[in-house]
Every structure is written in C-alpha cells, then in structure tokens.
Structure 1
Amino acid sequence: MPAPRDVTTEERPASVNMEAFAQNLARLVEEGGKAAAAYMQPREDGKAEDMADDIADAMKTFGEVANYWMSDPKRSFQAQSRLMTGYFTVWAGALQKLSGEKAEPAAAGNAKDPRFKDPEWDSPFFDALKQMYLVTTQWAEAMVQETEGLDPHVKHKAEFLVRQLANAISPSNFVMTNPELIRETIASSGDNLVRGMKNFAEDLMEGNGDLRIRQTDMSAFEVGRNLALSPGKVIFETELMQLIQYSPSTESVKKIPVLIVPPWINKFYILDLNPEKSFIKWLVDSGLTVFVISWVNPDARLAEKGFDDYMREGIFAALDTVKSVTGEEQAHTVGYCVGGTLLAVTLAYMAATGDNRVASSTFLTTQIDFTHAGDLKVFVDEGQLAVIERRMKETGYLEGKKMADAFNMLRSNDLIWPYVVNNYLKGKQPFPFDLLYWNADSTRMPAANHSYYLRNCYLQNNIAKGLAELAGVKIDVSKVNVPVYSLATREDHIAPPNSAYIGAGLLGGPVRFVLAGSGHIAGVVNHPGKQKYQYWTGGDVVGNYDAWVEAAQEHKGSWWPDWLEWFSALHQEEVPARPVGNNLYPPIEDAPGRYVRERS
C-alpha cells in the first residue's frame, strides 16, 4: 500500500471562524423567519394553491409501480437484492480507493455531468456518495421500466416523476454532501447560507408564497429598453392582440407581406430579443414587410375566449389589417410553437370555407400531430385535466407560472437545480441573460382556450385525427395545400422533431421539412452571423422520421438563409418600401406596445 502523502497548506481546508459562524447562524435564523412568514402568509389568508391533488396523483402513480413489485414475494426479493448488491459494490469500491487502489464504479454516470465536475467528487468519500446516489436512482428508473402490465401513460408519468425525484435528491443539491458547498461555507463562515436564505425569502415574496426561482437578474432587462427594440408601430388591436408593423429598412420590399403568429403561452419578443439575435430585424433587413401579433396577457375577463376567438380576433383580424395596409390580397404566414398549431388549424378552417388569403406558411417547432409530444404529455390525462379545469374555473385562466414550471421541469437539471444551488446555497445572484428573462416573463392562458388546446391536442389528438371542430367547421389539415416550410429542432423537448415531422406529413400541399441543430429556442433563434449549429435538408415528408434523418444532408450554420431562399422563390416581385399603417389603421403606439409589457 502506498504511503500517505503530505498535505500541503494550500490543500488544507480553511478553518472556520467560529465567532463569525455564530453570528451568521443568528442571521440565518432571522432570514429563515422571513422566509417562513412569506410562505405562511398566503396560506393563513386562504390564498395559496392546494397541492393535494398533485401529490395524490403522484402517489397513485408510484403506488401502481410499487404494487407490481410488492405483490409477488419473489419479484420483491429480487428488486431488494439488486439494490443491496449495488450498495455493497459501492462500499467495496470505497475501501479499495481508501487503500490507494483503483476501483470500477458501481454505477455508470455521465463523465461530463456538470453536477459532479468538482475534482473532490473523485475522492473516496464523495465518490461513494455519488455512487450511492447513482445506484439508487438507476435502480428506481429500472423498477419503473421493468414494471409489466402498466398503462403506457401511467408508465410515462412514473418515469418522469422518478427522474424529477432523482434530480432533486442529488448530493450536489445539499450543503453537507457537496464538496464545493462545504468549502464555500467554511471560507465564508456561513455567509453564503445567509445570503442564500435572503434570496430564498425574496423569491417566496415575489411568488406570493410560492417559490419563484430567479434564473437571471430580472432588474437587468426591460422590454422596450434593451429587449424588443426593432422599430415599428402598433397599428391595430383587439381584446386578444395588438398588431405590430415594423418600419422598413430597405428601399424596396417583397410584394407579399409576412404575418408572424407567435405562441400565446410565451411572449413574441423571443423573436426580437436584441438586434444581434432578432429574427424580426433580420427579416426586415432582408427586404420583407413584417407584421407580428402580440397576444394579450389575459385576465379573468377573457375566460371564455377560445381557440375560435384566437383565430377570428387574432389571425383573421390581422390578415384583414395587413390587406388594408399593403393592398395585397394575400400574406405569407409564420407560426411558432402553439402559434403554429393555431395557424395550422386556421388554414384548415380557411380551406374548408374557401378563404385564400394565405400565400404560404412556415411552421417553427410546431406540432399538429401530438402522438409523440414528449414529456409534456405526462401532465395531461382526464384526472389531471379535471383538476386544471376546476382551478381555471375559479380564476378564469391558468396562471403563467404553471406552464413555466412545467417547461422548467422538462429540463430540471438545467433550469431548476443549478439555480437552487447558486442562489440559495452559494448565496449568489444569477447572471443577467436575456433569454432567461424572457423565459421567466410568463403569460396567463384563458380557461376556454387552454382547455380546448389540452383536450384536442395532447389528450385526444383530434386535430391530427380530423375530429376537431372550430367555429362549427370540421378541421381537416390534409386540405391545407399552400406551400409550407416546416422547421423542427433536433434536441427539442417541447415539440420533439419526430412529432413535428409526422404533423408536417399530414398537410396536403408541398412541404419543405428542415431539421435544425440545438433545441426549441436556440435552434430557431440562430442568427447567421453567429455561425452556430447546423441544419439538415432532405427529401419529402414521407415514411419514417429516422430514415429521413439518415438520408438528410447537413449544412453548417443557421437555417435562416435557407428559409429566405425558399421564401424568395415563391414570389419574387418587389415594390417600393411601404410606410407603416394607413388612414384606416394609423399608428397607435410604438412597438413593442402595451400588451407585451403586462407581467403575470
């Protein structure tokens, strides 16, 4: 056995200043009292949301898995033996490391896992903690995967819940089991924990008793000051939306204008974060007349507004305005995410009613078929929908935080737990980041609209099946025969690319399907000047998605120039740049308008 080496002064942990630590402990208790008060206040007033239904649903899901393993003594013994064998392997490996020998890990982990990047995780003690965690969580995941006879939706939900629990209990999330946090606490005599508790209390206050974890410095950004800066005017508005026309930056423009339909679940300025990232500015600079719908952040007054209202008072009203301002009978349309879903349904409605105001459509990470809609489907079944609809009936809307939390849970190791560690355990402020500011700037959803969306898309997939109706008209997306550019992103956790591919294949007209690198946001908002990521082009949208990818051709950089080439080939005629608005639709206010500034 090799002799133990001397530990240098630099390697020794700093000693704790006990007087400072005691003072910080007192401050920690004081800040903890403020956090407790912020948490309890709305509950004492009866204003806090009851989580009993969510907890009961989770326990029922776990109960079905547990019943499979506990109902058969042999299976139960095998499951326990597998777990204990893993623990014994961890123990044996730790002893080997302590004796200076190398040991094979008991559980395979990701070597690049950012949670365990600190070198101290390779030491015998912390490596054993990490291995115990990996053995336990991988065992739990295997128990769900190997449960037989389980309803596929229940199994999907159990896998998702186990993954959330696994991410939550990581030893990297606790002071006493994270070597980096231990060093931080000793070096600052606990001041990091005091700052963290202060941040925790502030976030509870901001969330009115619910924890609203800050992902960025919210004071660093303001819509209209350093976000959504493209010059333009609001020229029309309804209860549901404002229509923005952007000022031209070229002497001539494409004859046919462009109308962008963003999602109402988030705000439109993801497409106009700043001049260096702005898709909207790039379109304008490329010689297009651009109009964008800015959806309202609804309250209880709009509870009865449904999908058909968003079509009539949103897309149709915008198309009427665009026609009046430009004099053109048609417009090209671009739909992003659920805005694209609404646009697809609207196009099917227009096809059924003989309305030909749309020249082409671009769908950005849009789902029409929801068979493979990813982990968001775990939140949608009859039981959970009944709870959501009951809550929406009480308020008239779904609070934006609910959707934001759901999206964050899809990538909790990226969007939740790093900020818990940074904000509350290290006591640091999050770094200013415009994309995360936008992500936190959530919106509410009207009860009628959101219920239609969840039921006809995620629960019953009625749009793809041809069973959905809108304003009394049967929706058949196969009747949509305008040219379509459909963009999916390879790492999309909200609109998975195979789901977007299937939906694009349901359309009746010519479809150019393009796959971009990265995810739901970064894959779309990828300015060509950045020279980031890549995109793939291939054949027609027929057959299997994996086969399409296998045969596709890769191109470096942004998909934007590819889209512009496709778009320009449709209608090449140009006209002198148009002024903003007209006598019927004079400017109401500067872009980005009032609606987008309304915070939830």
Structure 2
Amino acid sequence: MESPAGFDLSKQQHNAAKALDETLRAQMAQACSGLSPIALAMAHADWAMHLMASPGRQSLLAQRALELSLQTWRNVLAQPEQGEKDSRFADEDWNAWPYVALKEGFKACDAWWRDAAQQGGGVSRHHQHMVNFFTGQALDAMSPSNWPWTNPEVQRTAQETQGRSLQEGMRFFMKDLQETLSAHPDTPSEALPPLDYAVGKDVAVTPGKVVFRNHLIELIQYTPTTREVLPEPVLIVPSCIMKYYILDLSPHNSMVKYLVDQGHTVLIVSWRNPDASDRDLKMQDYLCGVLAAIAAAKASTGAPRLHTMGYCLGGTFLAIVAAALGRLSRKPGRARTAKEKALIPDDLPELASVILLAAQTDFTEPGELGVFIDEEQLATLRQTMGERGYLSGKQMGGSFVYLASRGLLWGRNTRRYLMGEEDANFDLMSWNADTTRLPARMHSEYLTALFLNNALAAGQYRFAGATVALMDIRAPMMVVATTRDHVSPWKSVYKIHLQTDTHVTFVLAEGGHNAGIVSEPGRPRRSYQMGSVEDNMGWIDPDDWKAEAPVTQGSWWEAMHAWLAERSGRPGKPPAFKREQVLCDAPGEYVMVRYAD
C-alpha cells in the first residue's frame, strides 16, 4: 500500500503537471489573440484532410485558378470598370499600372481561397464556419490596400502633404502604442485618458434620478417633459456587455429622450462594471437584477402595469424573466416554492408588453460569434477569466473587432497610420471605447448554457427551480432585428416566432447591431419592415416574410411609440419622485466606472 507521503508527492506532481499544461496553453492562446490554437488547428486539419481525400474537388479548384488567372489579365488590360464595389479600391489610382495588377491579382486570389475554403461534405459545420471566417480574416490582412508601398492613395497623399501624412500616422501609432503599454487593470478611472464625449456632460444627459441601487444595478428614472404621461412606465434593460447610454447618447439621437418626449415615463438599468471581487456572480444574479429593477420601478412610480424593453443580452435576460413570471401567473393558486420565494419578489407589476431589441433566444445560428464558441475555446477562455476573475472589456472589444476587421481594424489602420487621418469623432465611437467587464462565472455560464448548449430554446434552462419556457410569456411582444447584425443575426432573432405563443410584432430595421437600433427620426437612408403574427397564422419562413413585409421609410422608433401607445391606458399626471428613494442625479455612479483593460 502506498504511504501517505508517497500519495502527497503524487498529488503534488499531478498539480505541478496541470499547472505546467495550463501555463503553456495560456501562452499559446495569448500568441493567438486569446483564441485556442488547438481549436484552430483541429478546424483546419479537418478541412485539409477532406480536401486531400477529394481529387475531384482539387481538379475543380485547379480549373478555377486557371479561369481566375485569365480573368485577371483581361481585367488588367481592359478599360477599368466604373463603380468599384470594394470600397478598399474605390480610389481612381487603383486603375493605373501597376496598382491595377496588384488589385486584380489580389481579388482573384481572394476569390480562389474563399472557394477553396468552402469544402464539400464531411467537414463539421463548426469547423467549416471557422475555416471560412479565418480564411477571410487572413485574406483581408493581405490586401494591398493595407501597405504603404502597394497603396496608391497612401503614396499620393504622402506626396501631396510632403510626407506629413506619414509623420502624422507615425505619431498616432506611437501614441496608441504608448497607451497600450501603459494600460494597467488597476489604473483608477480618473487616470485614464478622457473620453471624447464625457458621460453626463455630452452624452447620457437626459435629466433624471437614481431611485434604486444594489450591488449589481442602479435604476434611473427620467424626469417627464410632457404635462401628461401614459400610465404604464417603460423599463429598459440594456446589455451588461455595454454601458447603458447607448440608448441615451446625444440629445438628438437618444432613445430615452425620444420616449420621454412622447409622453412615456422611462426607467433604465445601469449595470455595475465588475471587478475581480465579482468573479462568482452568476447568471441567476443578473436575472435577479432584472427582477429587482421591475420591483423598484413599481415602487418608484406606483404603476401596476409596466412596459419592458431589453437590448442584446439584456433582451435575453428579459425574455427569461418574462417567461418565469408568465409561468407563475398561469398558476395563481399554487403556493410558491422556496426558490421562487427567494429569487422572485412579491407584488411585481403586470408586464404590459415585452420588447426585445437585437436579442437572441435561439443560439443555433449565432452568426460570426459562433466561431469563438466550442468546448476547447471555452476551456481556454475560462482559464483566462479564472486568473483575472472577469472577461476584460478590451478582450471583449477585440472579439467584436474580429467580426468586422476589414473596416474596424485594417481600414482604420490604413486611414490612421498610413494616411495620418484622425479617427472619426462622434458619440457612438466614444461610447464604443467605454468598455465594460463581465464576471468570470456569469460569462462562462452564459456561453455554455445559451451559446454552446442552446438550453433556452431547447427548454432546458432552469431558473428559480423550474425550467424556463418562452411559451409562458403572456404579454404581447415587439421583436426588433437589424439587417446587418453580426452579433444577433436577424434570422436568428426571428426564431422567437417558433418559441412563443403570444402576439409578436416583428420589425426588421436597416443597419447594424448598434446603428440599426439607434435610428432616430430624421436620420437619412433609414427604413424598416414590420409585420405582426396573429393567432393561428402558423410559421412564415423568414425569407418569405422579408419578401412580403412592406418597407417603410424613416425611423422604427415612431412605430414603436405607436405600438406602445395602443397597449397603454389614458394619459394622466406624471408620477412624482419620492424624496426618500432619490439617491443621486442621473447618470448615476456605476456608469462612471472605467478600467484600462
């Protein structure tokens, strides 16, 4: 029998070996920008081995290479076409020799590799998605528009400015590099470079009061601007992945101000920006944060009915909470369980409506984000978060840059570092730089339960001791998606029709995940489609819905206000602030917390 001392030594060896493995994996992931190199290698090995075993596919690709080569020379020698579709090559100098050859050669290479990445049967769906995505990333990085010696626009600008554009670009590069190297997680908020648009001065300026605060949320109630208001307040639950003032930017494009000016009493949740001490906050805690906000909204306004609105992940939280409350309301005579009593407050207001903005409830088609979600990559992410206690805002922001790297990374670098142009300076870009963290445990649970296992849509997600079924939502719903959303693809959002048994008005707005939602009246080139699903209509394919739904020019905000007004009572006197509940002025304290990482 092994001695205790021998057992202790074996355990120490095991722990040392595990620590060594984790250290090596962490270093490998750091070298791959936080991605798991094992997951990347497995995906490309799957693709390469299937291609090696497909001589027919290889012959087609060889034929395709010959066709593209001939087409390239025809394009180089022929008269250049007008209206280049690729914005990277829109400048007229790309049609002059030798740049036209570089451009056409790159476009042919790009087309061939994208065809080659589209392997036939056999490659797993997730691996195929990863190969397609990272092939596109590599090709975008190799574009001749990214390099000074192959970009005629960069060279012309340098000549016209006598080299000042390159000097200014180098100054920007050194400034950004210094900020990156000097960034430290413990740097206090006041020591960070100020935002271009100051919170509370330039953005998030709609007047209001913080009427509730706990460890996780502040609840802001806004001051009415009309003599009468609709009796049902509007409670907004933004995503904890972002600062809430995406919906309260400058006065001209603030959704909060718009709703207040239309006669709504508006309240919004401001999530706490977590630190390492919050590592053990769970998904359940965030759902309870939504419930606490609903209870506080009733306590502050006295309203027995409440309109609710959730944006992005906040919409997913709101859908889960609405389903849990709907389940309870279907069984009014049943005594609550211990978990229900512990997690769900008593005397909550009735939900008059549920509005979801760019929020997924089915994650089988999560769009480009899906390339980052598998067991291996989640294990790598858990290890990184476990060391810090949170997912840093910088790491999360980097993931979103990946999704649109052509414009957000390479296009920006070309303009800033090669042409010496300052970054665009407007409120949405300033907000985008005001990043937030996510607690390690909550983020891990969110990715595993919803993205990896799709537990919510599968009827396997549990809250307050019971399974959550979106079919239990009783309130009428408005669900808004956007046409160019890389975070919540509109066809994924559209699947809410398969999961609910209530009235659903679906809106498809022109734009992306942020700009499509922040789409105020008067903004040019904005439109939306809208249609309602009534009882016994059955399933309508999303492509069929899009083909048939009428297009309305303008802002979908106006349709939202009309939809809310139809489901509200008669206007009356605005609710007064209760002095004992007012904690401070908007925008509150939590939104001011910033971190270098």
Which TM-score applies when normalising by structure 2?
0.85
Residue of structure 1 in register with 2:504 after alignment: 511
Residue of structure 2 in register with 1:67 after alignment: 49
Alignment partners' CA distance in 2, 1:156 and 1:218:
39
Does 2:259 match 1:259? no
Alignment partners' CA distance in 1, 2:553 and 2:36:
44
3-state SS of paired residue (2:270): strand
Provide closer, same or farther for how the CA distance between residues 83 and 56 of structure 1 changes in structure 2, counting only shifts above 3 A. farther
Does 2:399 match 1:406? yes
**Maintained 8 Å contact 1:243/1:293:** yes
1:21-420 counterparts in 2 under 5 A?
50-52=30-32, 54-71=36-53, 75-76=57-58, 79-80=61-62, 82-83=64-65, 86-87=68-69, 89-91=71-73, 94=76, 97=77, 102=78, 111-208=84-181, 219-312=195-288, 314-354=289-329, 357-420=350-413
Alignment partners' CA distance in 2, 1:353 and 1:308:
17
3-state SS of paired residue (2:30): coil
**Maintained 8 Å contact 2:168/2:420:** yes
3-state SS of paired residue (1:292): strand
3-state SS of paired residue (1:198): helix
Provide closer, same or farther for how the CA distance between residues 201 and 180 of structure 1 changes in structure 2, counting only shifts above 3 A. same
Provide closer, same or farther for how the CA distance between residues 444 and 110 of structure 1 changes in structure 2, counting only shifts above 3 A. farther
Residue of structure 1 in register with 2:588 after alignment: 593
Alignment partners' CA distance in 1, 2:118 and 2:93:
33
Alignment partners' CA distance in 2, 1:218 and 1:417:
25
Q: CA deviation at 1:347?
A: 1.1
Provide closer, same or farther for how the CA distance between residues 548 and 440 of structure 1 changes in structure 2, counting only shifts above 3 A. same
Residue-by-residue CA offset, 1:244-266 (whole Å, 9 max, x unaligned): 01011111111111110001111
Q: CA deviation at 1:339?
A: 0.5
Does 2:557 match 1:560? yes
Alignment partners' CA distance in 1, 2:75 and 2:212:
69
Aligned to 2:465, which of 472, 475, 478? 472
Alignment partners' CA distance in 1, 2:37 and 2:178:
23
3-state SS of paired residue (1:220): coil
Aligned to 1:569, which of 557, 563, 566? 566
Provide closer, same or farther for how the CA distance between residues 204 and 348 of structure 1 changes in structure 2, counting only shifts above 3 A. same
Does 2:413 match 1:433? no
Amino acid at match of 1:57: A
**Maintained 8 Å contact 2:510/2:528:** yes
**Maintained 8 Å contact 1:241/1:294:** yes
Alignment partners' CA distance in 2, 1:166 and 1:209:
31
Q: CA deviation at 1:47?
A: 11
Provide closer, same or farther for how the CA distance between residues 201 and 254 of structure 1 changes in structure 2, counting only shifts above 3 A. same
Q: CA deviation at 1:49?
A: 7.4
**Maintained 8 Å contact 2:311/2:356:** yes
**Maintained 8 Å contact 2:75/2:104:** no
Does 2:514 match 1:551? no
Provide closer, same or farther for how the CA distance between residues 88 and 555 of structure 1 changes in structure 2, counting only shifts above 3 A. closer
Provide closer, same or farther for how the CA distance between residues 89 and 283 of structure 1 changes in structure 2, counting only shifts above 3 A. closer
Residue of structure 1 in register with 2:12 after alignment: none
Residue-by-residue CA offset, 1:199-223 (whole Å, 9 max, x unaligned): 2232223233799xxxxx9753111
Unaligned 5+ runs, structure 2: 1-25, 185-192, 330-347
Provide closer, same or farther for how the CA distance between residues 218 and 83 of structure 1 changes in structure 2, counting only shifts above 3 A. farther
Residue-by-residue CA offset, 1:125-179 (whole Å, 9 max, x unaligned): 1111011111111111111113431000100111110111111111000001000
Alignment partners' CA distance in 2, 1:368 and 1:380:
16
Alignment partners' CA distance in 2, 1:47 and 1:164:
22
Provide closer, same or farther for how the CA distance between residues 404 and 589 of structure 1 changes in structure 2, counting only shifts above 3 A. same
Amino acid at match of 2:99: F
Q: CA deviation at 1:539?
A: 4.0
Provide closer, same or farther for how the CA distance between residues 385 and 48 of structure 1 changes in structure 2, counting only shifts above 3 A. closer
Residue-by-residue CA offset, 1:394-432 (whole Å, 9 max, x unaligned): 111111122212222222222221210011111222121
Alignment partners' CA distance in 1, 2:177 and 2:328:
50
Alignment partners' CA distance in 1, 2:475 and 2:498:
13
Alignment partners' CA distance in 2, 1:539 and 1:219:
41
Residue of structure 2 in register with 1:11 after alignment: none
**Maintained 8 Å contact 1:526/1:532:** no
Residue of structure 1 in register with 2:488 after alignment: 495
Residue of structure 1 in register with 2:339 after alignment: none
Unaligned 5+ runs, structure 1: 1-45, 212-216
Alignment partners' CA distance in 1, 2:83 and 2:445:
40
RMSD: 2.6
Amino acid at match of 2:146: N
Q: CA deviation at 1:188?
A: 4.3
Q: CA deviation at 1:51?
A: 2.6
Percent of paired sites with the same residue: 36
Q: CA deviation at 1:579?
A: 2.2
**Maintained 8 Å contact 2:38/2:376:** no
Provide closer, same or farther for how the CA distance between residues 204 and 57 of structure 1 changes in structure 2, counting only shifts above 3 A. farther
Amino acid at match of 1:296: R
Amino acid at match of 1:161: F
Provide closer, same or farther for how the CA distance between residues 494 and 517 of structure 1 changes in structure 2, counting only shifts above 3 A. same
**Maintained 8 Å contact 1:304/1:448:** yes
Amino acid at match of 2:174: A
Amino acid at match of 2:381: I
Alignment partners' CA distance in 2, 1:550 and 1:149:
33
Q: CA deviation at 1:233?
A: 1.2
Shifted more, 201-210 versus 542-551: the winner is 201-210
Residue of structure 2 in register with 1:30 after alignment: none
Provide closer, same or farther for how the CA distance between residues 144 and 265 of structure 1 changes in structure 2, counting only shifts above 3 A. same
Alignment partners' CA distance in 1, 2:579 and 2:350:
20
3-state SS of paired residue (1:352): helix
Residue-by-residue CA offset, 1:501-553 (whole Å, 9 max, x unaligned): 11244122211112212222222211223354112122417331111122212
Number of corresponding residues: 539
Which TM-score applies when normalising by structure 1?
0.84
Provide closer, same or farther for how the CA distance between residues 591 and 504 of structure 1 changes in structure 2, counting only shifts above 3 A. farther
**Maintained 8 Å contact 1:368/1:504:** no
Does 2:432 match 1:450? no
**Maintained 8 Å contact 1:65/1:147:** no
Q: CA deviation at 1:362?
A: 0.7
Alignment partners' CA distance in 2, 1:455 and 1:504:
24
Alignment partners' CA distance in 2, 1:450 and 1:357:
30
Residue of structure 1 in register with 2:342 after alignment: none
**Maintained 8 Å contact 2:521/2:554:** yes
Alignment partners' CA distance in 1, 2:250 and 2:53:
58
Alignment partners' CA distance in 2, 1:373 and 1:144:
20
Q: CA deviation at 1:79?
A: 3.5
**Maintained 8 Å contact 1:218/1:432:** no
Residue-by-residue CA offset, 1:475-501 (whole Å, 9 max, x unaligned): 111111111111111222211111111
3-state SS of paired residue (2:380): helix
